[in-house]
Structure 1
């Protein structure tokens, strides 16, 4: 079974990502990605496969995984068939190893965490009191501001670095021998978006960059990025707008057009959809 590479869009104003996975079931196929990942299931049951390990998950299940380790969470039939009366729910943290700069991992305080990073290559099912304490922190993180989230992540690092309450999942043989061959197509697509997001990018154009038909490209992009091309493009534009709002004294209309939005109303609508506030409200938070 070939694993697919997934990329989660990251905001310009955040060094790592915290999000809730909410739906009738968890939609991701067998996949991997370049980030470390913590997955806390708050509601659902089913089977999870991490490397060559197959186990079962329920509420409060917590797993820590290193980059490029293939995994999938498969909900039980009542969730897949819409028979539970409630949605599956999980909280997920993604971060790159150098998310605070290459020098960060070299500081003495990170020495103990390096062991957890090595163990995470197998996937770690966190158990006991450590799990309870980390889960309590993670449940609050979606509603935290930036500095609070960063402080919370450091608290989680401290718990992971010291714990002996875990089970390793993927076998040593799997970790040693896994070979994941990935296309550079994602790199080509994302590089093109980052160079051209400040103007209109028709689907025919970006599909041509990927050397695909439009329908094939749309399906491919949604499968791997978990959002549509337009949703991803808007997230990049809004992220850049946040950067400009914090750095420049331009008015909001100027920033909207500089980020590729063709009218101010659409900019305000997409910004509020992604940030939960208008650009003007966001700008005011920067001076508080």
Structure 2
């Protein structure tokens, strides 16, 4: 990833329930909450189902069921699932959100809470959990659904403890150290329009000139804008999403690889095979075989 990216998203105004400071929410995909956006609250986030790519700041990484992340205050984020045109994923996401100043106050009052400060600092770059730490955090997020507001406070403290105590091989940051969110422009409308355009045309023609025209920019300016906002080139994102879609079809269907190639937007077989090998590390047929298909 580039070392000097900046990006932003659409501000989401989060209103917790009356007399609480913690918001627990679950939602599906697509839905109006699933978009490139940011908010002042930190967010513990669990993906229950589907695969795809997570965009956080200038980071882009694959996700699968059970992924747990902590997104820092005002860091733009979005999870793009690979789904069919009419497919809807019920309750794909679980999120628990709280203003970081509430936790900072706790640290000032109780020196025992000092590890929370380190977690909040790390969260500015997005934290991805793995292994046993991810499993423990996922269990806490799920169980919090039916808890009282008081118990949810304990859940948040327990989640912070999981992130604070995670071994070095069970966590990593997602966003480059130099990333600075820019929340002062309308870039989110263009980013969300671009992502919708890619998803709608994943198996067909996707044109840089076309999307640039749709968001009222010239192609060169759009290309620079998209890379600055997301940390990835437009063509690279399209390619990754197409290969991700091909992987899903290889594992979940018995369609011939030639058909999957076309359905994933590749008209040229050698180009598809080369790109698949670069992205996945094996050929499409070997990938399908690794799943016993």
Task: Name the TM tier (shorter chain).
Answer: 0.5 to 0.7
Alignment gaps of 5+ in structure 2: 1-6, 187-293
Residues 161/76 of structure 1: CA separation in 2 closer, same or farther (3 Å cut): same
The answer as to 2:116 corresponding to 1:121 is no
Deviation at 1:99, TM superposition (A): 2.7
The answer as to 2:103 corresponding to 1:97 is no
Q: Is the contact made by 1:53 and 1:171 (CA closer than 8 Å) also made in structure 2?
A: yes
The equivalent residue for 1:12 is: 18
Deviation at 1:28, TM superposition (A): 2.6
Ranked by relative contact order (alpha carbons within 8 Å, sequence separation 6 or more), the top structure is 2
The equivalent residue for 1:42 is: 48
Residues 23/29 of structure 1: CA separation in 2 closer, same or farther (3 Å cut): closer
CA distance in 2, matches of 1:67, 1:35: 5
The equivalent residue for 1:63 is: 69
Alignment gaps of 5+ in structure 1: 184-288
Deviation at 1:147, TM superposition (A): 1.8
CA distance in 2, matches of 1:113, 1:65: 14
Deviation at 1:47, TM superposition (A): 1.0
1:151 to 138, 151, 154: 154
Q: Residue by residue, what CA displacement relative to the aligned partner does 1:154-198 show, whole Å, maximum 9, x if unpaired? A: 1111111111321110101224xx332169xxxxxxxxxxxxxxx
The equivalent residue for 2:163 is: 160
Q: Residue by residue, what CA displacement relative to the aligned partner does 1:219-267 show, whole Å, maximum 9, x if unpaired? A: xxxxxxxxxxxxxxxxxxxxxxxxxxxxxxxxxxxxxxxxxxxxxxxxx
TM-score (norm 1): 0.57
Aligned Cα root-mean-square deviation (Å): 2.1
The answer as to 2:176 corresponding to 1:171 is yes
Equivalent residue pairs, number: 177
Point out 4+ residue stretches in structure 1 off by more than 6 angstroms: none
2:86 to 82, 85, 107: 82
Q: Is the contact made by 1:5 and 1:182 (CA closer than 8 Å) also made in structure 2?
A: no
Deviation at 1:18, TM superposition (A): 0.6
Residues 112/3 of structure 1: CA separation in 2 closer, same or farther (3 Å cut): same
Deviation at 1:122, TM superposition (A): 0.5
The equivalent residue for 1:139 is: 142
Q: Residue by residue, what CA displacement relative to the aligned partner does 1:83-111 show, whole Å, maximum 9, x if unpaired? A: 47x525111011001236x6312121221
Please state whether the residue corresponding to 1:47 is helix, strand or coil: strand
Higher alpha-carbon deviation: 108-117 or 16-25: 16-25
